[in-house]
Amino acid sequence: AQSVTQLGSHVSVSEGALVLLRCNYSSSVPPYLFWYVQYPNQGLQLLLKYTSAATLVKGINGFEAEFKKSETSFHLTKPSAHMSDAAEYFCAVLSGYSTLTFGKGTMLLVSP
Amino acid sequence: DGGITQSPKYLFRKEGQNVTLSCEQNLNHDAMYWYRQDPGQGLRLIYYSQIVNDFQKGDIAEGYSVSREKKESFPLTVTSAQKNPTAFYLCASSQGRAHEQFFGPGTRLTVL
């Protein structure tokens, strides 16, 4: 069965600092991986997805993620944090024909 | 604009009452999903439907029921058998395998 582990329920950074949110997956088949962002009391918005093409995936709002098969990881990064990046981030893996299994989420806190 | 609507945004019900949450999409997507979100738990799949008049149980289907009579609609009923129904409920849709899921704004259900 496919699963996702997000390390760190909360990550704090200063504005302008590097953002690194960690995601490790377990999958018996080549995975399809997704990162979503959720602002308070809203639905989820797709940041980026990996579907077995390029291992470095660029998404919206300056975020990118690198697929590393040897490490079973798909960490999300952004070179310089902005106050508007404060939100909860979810990593997900395709776990059936079209269903997703989500990690428990990482809350990103950005301080001025 | 194409998208997913969920209504109402906030819902209050007395214990023991059934309640139905609405989800409508105009994206012409074949697949639709219902998730439950609790703090620190990520998203957990309740039910999903890949085609009209067909649906499958997800990981936490007990105490919930759904129908899919129309392509654009996928209502969720929270029954009195659900032991802890207070949560944030999210509806999503997708075009199919490996395609990203698009999320509605969510309904926050509080059972008093």
Q: Is the pLDDT of residue B88 over 80?
A: yes
CB A43 within 8 Å of CB B105: yes
Q: What's the mean pLDDT in A43-70?
A: 93
Q: Tokens 């075009």 label which residue? A: B95
CA distance B111 to B29: 31
Cβ neighbours around A54 below 10 Å, total: 10
CA distance B88 to B71: 24
Which residue among A36, A97, A104 sits closest to B41, beta carbon to beta carbon? A104
| Highest averaged pLDDT of the listed ranges A9-18, B2-11, B75-84 | A9-18
Mutate to test the interface with B, among A44, A51, A102 (most CBs of B within 10 A): A44
Identify the burial level of B25 via C-beta atoms within 10 angstroms of its C-beta, where 0-12 means exposed, 13-18 middle and 19 or more buried. buried
